[in-house]
Structure 1
Amino acid sequence: MPHDFSAELPPKSSSQPSHQMPPDLNIPERLPFFKRLMARMFGGGLSRMQAQHVPSWQQGHADGYLNGHAEGVNEGYNEGRFDGIEEGRQVLVIRDTRPLEHRGPRVDDHLFDDWRLPLTNELKKRIKADVAEKLPAHAQPTAAQWKMIFSDTPSTYVIAGAGAGKSTSLVLRVLLLNHYLGFELDSMTVVTFTRESRKDFINKLVEIMALWGHELTLRQAREVVRTFHSRILPLVRSLPGFEQLQAFENLSSQSGQLFDDSADSNPFDLRINDAQRHQLNLCYRDLYAANPRFREVMAPLYRQSLQLKELDRDHPDVQKRITVMGLSSKRDEELCDVIEDLWIRAGAWPIQGVEPMRQTVEVSGLTFHVHGYAAELDAWIVLGFDPGEDQHLRRPDAKLPVWAEWVIKRTLFQAFCRKPVIWLENYQASRGMMQSLSGAAVAGPGFDYKVKGELSAAPLLDCFVAAASFIENLGLDVPSAVAQMSFSEQDPDRFFFEALSLFWKAFENHLLDQSPPVMTYNRMFSLFGENSPENLKLVSDAGLRPLSHLMIDEFQDVSPQIVSWIRASLREIRSRGPALHLGRGAQRSSLLCVGDDWQSIYGWRGSSPKFFMEFPKEFSSPATTKVMLSDNFRSHQHIIDAAEHIVRAAPAISGKKARASGPVQELLPVTVLDRNDDRLLASLTEHYHAGDSVLLLYRKGSERSRLPEALQALADADYTLPPQDRRLKQLTYHSAKGLQADAVFLLGDCQHLTQSPYKNQVYQLTGLGREGDLEAFDNAQKDEVLRLAYVAITRAVRHCYWFIESAGNDDGNIPRASARVAGDKAFFDDRRGASSPGTSSGESLSTSVE
């Protein structure tokens, strides 16, 4: 039986084991060759004799076992390690990287697919070479303009300051899409705001396209270049039942007929013509007869319009006439008799709806009389002295004529009477009152009203149109918005807006009942806005396709309602996918907008620069290109710096600073002067006769009637010249946008004079302005007066003169653009308050006339 050495072996180890053997079994040192040979021969003999030496056998066995074990361990370790690695490579490792909370896929809310225009470097070089060959040197695009033309992202916004030369760049963009990329013209629309700018762009497009071999007709060019209004009208007409639809704003003032002038109406013109007024009056008549609540809310409006306006007791007229107050009271009943007799003879008294009732009223402790009482208006009636009567008529023994006694009484009532009194100034007022109170006013309500925040009163229905347009431009429905507004119980605007809510709903229905049907542009945009996207699905591919590639100029003046329509249209185009563009060269959709937030001046109509200033947020896109056109090819640097100094106090897109890039000119400061019509006439005439083009701009249209006769004569003479030879234009600041002249004369400051409670509320409803700002509209208007001054000044090429009325005793807290004039800046020459020079007015300014 073999000997068991297990008890004598040490524990297994991965390293070479050490052996503790008896001394007589220790492994001998290596023998020399001769001894080793002898041992091998001797051992072989013993083996043949089957004789064994036990200690030798044990030592040999131990050595063999231990050496074999060590080799086996090493070999097993190496083979096992190799097999383990190979096997480990086939083990699936699962790492749980999922979020702790469940999340679904993201919503792709972009208005565009993630695509790029196929513009290669080779194509860009070829286009630049063609433009260099075909266009004159002064029309060659700058690096920034090429960036705009070559923008390959779905959305692009271009900040183009005054005089930036954007029109040519837009035309070259159309050329790029159509001529070089093969996009059909019926897949794109260029939008301008006014009829004049549209006409100019059409001519430029026809001219440049012809240089590349495309002979566009005016009709083809008009199909591409549109106003927003001319694009929305065919969209509505494409729907069943609306093929002959007419726009309310396009109703003709000639013979009351309807017309369609390519829908090129001025979006900022609120004047109402006879045909439009006729429809308003018809609706008013029917609503007044049919709706008791409308009649109820009209009464306090009428009373407010006719009610005698209060006069401060410290007013000079009051202080002058208060001295005869006692005498006036004693003779008042006799005065009433005389005036009442005149009204009876004129057939103007009594008045239907007014009870003749000679009643006494107390005015500052003294007794005066009224002629009647209107129960429906809850007001006393006082008859006035009609201007058509004899101005020298006197009562017996009276020192003053009847009209003078009546004026004294009216002044005293204005200052001291706090009862509701309607003061009828003339016989015509009585006839209008009879119609209004009887509900037979075919010509409308027949009275004016002034909404708080407006500069002046206007016919009531005109006020309805203006307020409704403002609300709708902000993307709101009139009745819904009115329902969320609030006014104090004593505020007559409370009744105005309830009447507006009732009237506007009835008016929209009234227009649709016409044959052919009529609709306001605001309602058309609303029908296809984000609040009713299902309507766009009714539009054919052919009707929707022209909106695929939109290029919009003057984008800073868009309203929230227009923005809603644009976004809804782009979403619908994307949702239809490739089917919309099947077989066409133009694919997908894009939007390129050009504007200047510093030139946003139509906030009073509901426009806002917010959508341009926050363009990437408002028009979500996979990629957006921003381009800054900083070159000004119109004005010299002093004109630019003066205008920017004024407007820089308003919020704006960061990084804006224009540089003069036109021909080198003498740097002449903007000259600021006190209003002086003689000096104005002399300087303007001198510039005109020196051959300069001249713009005479005024803040308000009423300024035109105040101009010197000699200046009017010069303007009339210039107008008789052929159009290309005319060099003098008279316009408001707002109307002058887009124009320029060698010399510009500005009349009037830009200031925010009123506060508008209702517009502040509407601004809050639509989310414009800063959160929590209760006067968001008014604050926006304070910025807008600065922008208006910027627009006016930047019309000038070389000379700019600004004539400003002295502030006098006006409230110093009124925001004024002129407050930003800096006398210590080289680009301003502030001469206000300086004494008039001894020489003529013209000589004082002639140093800057070439």
Structure 2
Amino acid sequence: MPQHTPELPVELAPVTQLPLLKRLAARLFGSGLNRLRAQHAASWLQGQADGFRSGHSAGIDYGFQEGHAEGLEEGRQVLFISDTRAQELRAPGIDDNLFDDWRLPLTPELKKQIKADVAALLPAHAQPSAAQWKMIFSDTPSTSVVAGAGAGKSTSLVLRILLLTHYLGFELGSMTVVTFTRESRKDFISKLQEVFALWGRNLSLKEAREVVRTFHSRILPLVRSLPGYGQLQAFETLNSRSLFNDDDTDSNPFDLRINDAQRQQLNACYHGLYTRDERFRQALAPLCRHALQLKELERDHPDVQKRMAVTELAAKRDEELCDTLEDLWFAAGAWPIKGIEPNRETLEINGSHFHCHGYIPQLDAWVVLGFDPQENPQICRPGAKLSVRAEWAVKRTLFRAFCNKPLIWLENYDAAKRVIASLAGDASAGPGFDYKLKGELSSAPLLDSFVSAASFIENLGLDVAAAVGDMRFAKDDPDRFFFEALSLYWRALEDHLLAQTPPVMTYNRMFSLFGENTPQNFKLLSHEQLRPLSHLMIDEFQDVSPQIVSWLRASLREIRSRGPAMHVGRGAQRSSLLCVGDDWQSIYGWRGSSPKYFMAFNKEFPSPATTRVMLSDNFRSHQHIIDAAEHIVRAAPSIAGKRAKASGEPKELVPVTVLPRDEQDLATRLIEHYHAGDRILMLYRKSSDKTLIEKEIQSVVNVDSRLTPEDRRLKQLTYHSAKGLQADAVFLLGDCQHLTSSPYKNQVYRMAGLGKDGDPDPYDNAQKDEVLRLAYVGITRAVKHCYWYLEKQDAQGPNIPKASDRIPAGKAFFEDLRGVDTPLLANP
């Protein structure tokens, strides 16, 4: 193959030659001149040019070709490199997502078909809104749905399940819908069956119950699958019923009232620990003395000021009063008491001398006998003007204000029996005394207080013993001994319960077995046991606790780690999470729940993609009800952009009516609404209020109680218990107030990472927000009418945070009639 000669550049091309004839003529004339030895300049120049041309051509040909070849070769050997590599060498990042990066296969054609089916099969009032369709059609691994009061979320959740099963072929066994209570579970199961039937799928009650669960009914089977725990019972549902009665697992696990079966276990553990553990006995002694000790009364209290004037007279008759009281106790068989030395010690009270009845060496405390209410209140000493009961009341007031010694005032004969049991270490009736932690509204039997405090700590995802070890109290604070005793008792109780046949465990303990701190325990579960948690749909998500959140995250992380092997041969692949909630309805902070996990959903449940849905339509209440409730709660931190609007059939706009507390006025209005055919909710803050109002509305109560449950139109509940319900007319009795400060709850809140950084009182501040949310829940139960009866402004003190502080003036959605004379309505 001939070598290709590269084309020369124009500037290197040779000079053009003369035509042929001219070249021949030039040669002839040039030869003649040479013979004559004559110079011919033009010919010389022509010859020079011809030489130049031939040399130029040869040089160019050779030089260009050589240079081109050498340059080309040099270009192959020399390469200019621009270094674009990263200067910092980093390790690979961590994929902390709880889900794979995947999407539901929802095509436009499929969405159109589903919408057409829903339009044809569901009634007009049940047709989803645009926002509800966004929730139903969410195709991302995680979905957060902000659903305010009356948002119609239940139907949307049912249609979501229908989408996954009927249209996408996901198995029901791969999903769980979580509700919080047995009542809400029952309602959702019924709605699920009804909707599935419209699509030609007859879902059995058993199938529906397998899908719709409470958190507690879902964790129990997981623990029962472990070796040796097949018949495990939950302590919270411990009773004499069947081990596997499904109603047990669905009963309210947050009801901390102790039943007989539970108390039997608590007392048995207490007796064993008290007998064998000296440290436990030592911790109980100051608790017992503090619990039984007469509570101090401020010296400027009106009762003290009134009775100070008779101090000297009371001191003169005190010894005779002591004799009379001892005679009464002796006649009742309650005196003397073993463990109490019957010594008449003299104490100085406000400059005068009074007497005690005895001394308890074990507690280093003096004892005074009281006047038992069972005795005749008219009993008098011979010649005395006052009754024994009245003389005793004067003495008790003076002792509360001026006694500086540890003093136990035995109020009655039964109280004495409890003290005897406590001093003897007899656990047949528990420790024998009540205790009130700082921050609690009332005292409770010591073991009940143990259960309550331990449950709160564990709901926050903390270990009781570890949390107690990190607490700090003043040296003379009796709560210090309470928590020392609690840490000893709780560890002993857990061991005691597991040693029963069959074994017993608290729900919190079950969740901790499968939390983020114990991922190894998931290896004990088969794919089948874990698979129902693959596609989770959780209602009322604002009420989850840190303990539940840890279990959810650990479960989702384990499911993802197992990969495709977990889903072989199944339509439902991978995992997803859809949570529905309303941070404005988070009202269970007192038991350890927090709206934090819903408000910061993307951070708490990391996902490759999350869909946020805002359900703003309220299909329950008219706009005045909505605006009034939102005005109260808007001062609390919340998800941005929330504002509900009334939807559905238009209703008459009636303001929320605020009235001074008046049981008779309340009863008159309530009876009128009942006779008009309205459904009514009577909500109260204290059980004593229920008793008071029930007397006023007894006629309605008697009529309504004779109807079937479905036909009854009056319900009397606490604010908390009314969540999820609605009525034509709602009567709210009492304010929502934050009355106390809880030092121990503030401490464990900080340990759990709740509250703002640097906040010394995160729990107390969270509760100040929660009272606003509680009022919001109460008001939004109303469909048409809401009446709010409040105490006088200073009933609980001027510095007590109250929801009613947010009631505005001059707003159309509130009608504040406090301070306005309102004639009673005529009773129809």
CA distance change for structure 1 residues 741 and 392 in 2, over 3 Å: closer, same or farther? closer
Q: How does 1:325-404 map to 2 (within 5 A)?
A: 325-404=311-390
| Aligned-residue offset at 1:791 | 0.7
1:517 lines up with 2:503 in the alignment: yes
- The residue aligned with 2:189 is 202
1:114 is paired with a residue whose SS is coil
Q: Aligned to 1:140, which of 124, 127, 131?
A: 127
Contact 1:673 1:804 in 2 (8 A): yes
Specify the alignment match of 2:825 in structure 1.
Answer: 841
> Which residue of structure 2 lines up, in the alignment, with residue 678 of structure 1?
664
Q: Select 2:171's aligned residue among 175, 179, 184.
A: 184
Give the unaligned 5+ runs of structure 2.
1-8
Rounded Cα–Cα distance in structure 2 between residues aligned with 1:620 and 1:470:
27
Q: TM-score by structure 2 length?
A: 0.94
Q: 1:507-586 residue pairs with structure 2 within 5 A?
A: 507-586=493-572
TM-score with structure 1 length normalisation? 0.92
**1:113 counterpart (70, 86, 100):** 100
The 8 Å contact of residues 674 and 806 in structure 1, kept in 2 or not, is answered as: yes
Matched ranges for 1:154-193 at <5 A? 154-193=141-180
Cα distance in 2 for partners of 1:776, 1:770 equals 7
Computed over aligned residues only, the root mean square deviation of the Cα atoms, in angstroms, reads 2.8
Asked whether 1:224 is paired with 2:215, we answer: no
Distance 1:58 1:31, change over 3 A: closer
Conserved in 1, the CA contact under 8 Å of 2:683 and 2:716? yes
| Contact 1:192 1:226 survives alignment (8 Å) | yes
Q: After the TM superposition, which of the residue ranges 731-740 and 379-388 deviates more from structure 2?
A: 379-388
Of 430, 445, 457, 1:459 maps to 445
How much does 1:341 deviate?
2.6
Q: CA deviation at 1:808?
A: 2.7
Structure 1: which amino acid aligns with 2:325? I
Post-superposition CA distance 1:157-215 (Å, at most 9, x none): 10001111000000011101111111111000000000000000000101111111111
**AA in 1 matched with 2:94:** V
Deviation of 1:536 after TM superposition, in Å, equals 1.1
> Counterparts in 2 of 1:636-785, with a 5 A limit?
636-785=622-771
The Cα shift of 1:393 comes to 2.8
Q: Alpha-carbon deviation of 1:749?
A: 0.8
CA contact (8 A) 2:663 2:696 kept: no
In structure 2, relative to structure 1, the CA distance for the partners of 1:34 and 1:505 (3 Å cut) is: closer
Q: 1: CA distance between counterparts of 2:208 and 2:53?
A: 103
Mapped contact 2:143–2:577 kept (Cα < 8 A):
yes
Q: Find the aligned partners of 2:777 and 2:435 in 1 and give their Cα distance.
A: 32
Change (3 A) 1:62 1:339: same
SS in 1 for 2:593: coil
Any idea what SS the aligned residue of 1:626 has?
A: strand
User: Relative to structure 1, is the Cα distance of residues 51 and 529 closer, same or farther in structure 2, using a 3 angstrom cutoff?
Assistant: farther
1:324-372: CA deviation from partner (whole Å, max 9, x where unpaired): 1011112212221222232233222222222221111111221111111
Within the candidate set 317, 322, 334, 2:308 is matched to: 322
Give how far 1:825 is off: 1.0
> CA 1:802–1:65 in 2, change beyond 3 Å: closer, same or farther?
same
Separation of aligned partners in 1, 2:497 and 2:339? 31
Deviations, residues 251-281 of structure 1 (Å, cap 9, x unaligned): 1267x98955251021332111111111111
Equivalent pair of 2:585/2:774 in contact (CA under 8 Å): yes
The one-letter code of the counterpart of 2:277 is N
Matched to 2:761, the amino acid is E
1:626-669 C-alpha deviation (Å, 9 max, x unpaired): 11111111111111111111111111111111111110111111
1:289 Cα deviation after fit = 0.9
Alignment of 1:590-609 (within 5 A): 590-609=576-595
For the residues of structure 2 that align with 1:173 and 1:422, how far apart are their CA atoms? Answer: 63
Is it true that 1:486 corresponds to 2:472 in the alignment? yes
The one-letter amino acid of 1:709's match is: K
Task: Specify the code of the residue in structure 1 equivalent to 2:167.
Answer: Y
Q: Which residue of 1 aligns with 2:4?
A: none
Structure 1 SS opposite 2:778: helix
Equivalent-residue separation in structure 2 for 1:276 and 1:411 (angstroms) = 38
Which one-letter code corresponds to 1:750 in the other structure?
C
How far apart, in 2, do the equivalents of 1:818 and 1:697 lie? 16
Q: Higher mean Cα deviation, 826-835 or 388-397?
A: 388-397
Query: Which among 266, 270, 286 is matched to residue 272 of structure 2?
Result: 286
Q: Which residue of 2 aligns with 1:21?
A: none
CA distance in 1, matches of 2:641, 2:407: 58
Percent identity of equivalent pairs:
70
Please tell me whether the aligned partners of residues 237 and 248 of structure 2 are also in contact (alpha carbons under 8 angstroms): no
Map residues 41-80 of structure 1 onto 2, 5 A cutoff: 41-43=28-30, 57=44, 60-61=47-48, 64-65=51-52, 69=56
3-state SS of 1:592 partner: strand
* Partner residue, 1:241: 228
Sort the Cα spacing of 1:59 and 1:257 in 2 relative to 1 into closer, same or farther, 3 A. closer
Give the Å deviation of 1:450: 0.7
- What do residues 734-757 of structure 1 show as CA deviations (whole Å, max 9, x unaligned)? 111111111111111111111010
Equivalent residue runs for 1:808-819 within 5 Å:
808=794, 810-819=796-805
Match of 1:405 in 2: 391
Aligned in 2, Cα 1:363/1:710: closer, same or farther, shift over 3 Å?
closer
Say if 2:198 is the partner of 1:214.
no
Instruction: Report the residue type matching 2:564 in the other structure.
Output: P
- Aligned-pair CA distance for 1:388: 2.5
Given that residues 622 and 784 in structure 2 are in contact (C-alpha distance below 8 angstroms), is that contact kept between their aligned partners in structure 1?
yes
Mean CA deviation greater in 359-368 or 495-504: 359-368
Q: Is the 8 A contact 1:252 1:258 kept in 2?
A: no
| Residues 379 and 388, structure 2, Cα contact 8 Å, conserved in 1 | yes
Question: 1:253, 1:273 within 8 Å by CA — same for their partners in 2?
Answer: no
Q: Which runs of 5+ in 1 are unaligned?
A: 1-13, 18-26
> Any idea what SS the aligned residue of 1:841 has?
coil
Native 8 Å contact 1:692 1:743 kept in 2: yes
The one-letter amino acid paired with 1:141 is P
Distance 1:84 1:842 in 2: 114
CA distance in 2, matches of 1:30, 1:512: 117
79-88 or 340-349: which moved more?
Answer: 79-88
Flag the 1:482–1:33 CA change in 2: closer, same or farther, 3 A: closer
User: Structure 1's 284 and 53: CA in aligned 2 closer, same or farther, altered over 3 A?
Assistant: same
CA distance in 1, matches of 2:547, 2:584: 21
Compared CA separation, residues 735 and 62, structure 1 to 2 (3 A) = same
> What whole-Å deviation, never above 9, does each CA across 1:198-243 have from its counterpart, x for those lacking one?
0000001011111111111101100000000000000000111000
Aligned amino acid, residue 539 of structure 2: D
Residue identity opposite 1:246 in structure 2: Q
Q: 1:627 aligns to what SS in structure 2? A: strand
- Aligned partners of 1:581, 1:153: CA distance in 2, in Å? 19
Distance in 2 (alpha carbons) for counterparts of 1:178 and 1:777: 42
Q: Which shows bigger deviation, 565-574 or 326-335?
A: 326-335
Partner Cα separation in structure 2 for residue 672 and residue 604 of structure 1: 27
Letter in 2 for 1:182: G
Specify the code of the residue in structure 2 equivalent to 1:239: L
- 1:62 is displaced (CA, Å) by 6.1
Distance 1:50 1:238 in 2: 129
Q: Residue 233 of structure 2 contacts residue 243 of structure 2 at CA under 8 Å; is this kept in 1?
A: no
Q: Secondary structure at the match of 1:672?
A: strand
User: 1-side partners of 2:703 and 2:394: how far apart?
Assistant: 47
Deviates more, 1:807-816 or 1:523-532: 807-816
Letter in 1 for 2:282: E
State the alpha-carbon separation in 2 of the partners of residues 823 and 413 from structure 1: 48
Task: Report the CA distance between 1:398 and its aligned residue.
Answer: 2.1
What code does the residue aligned with 2:161 have?
V
**Structure 1 residues 116 and 421: alpha-carbon distance in aligned structure 2, compared to 1, 3 A threshold:** same
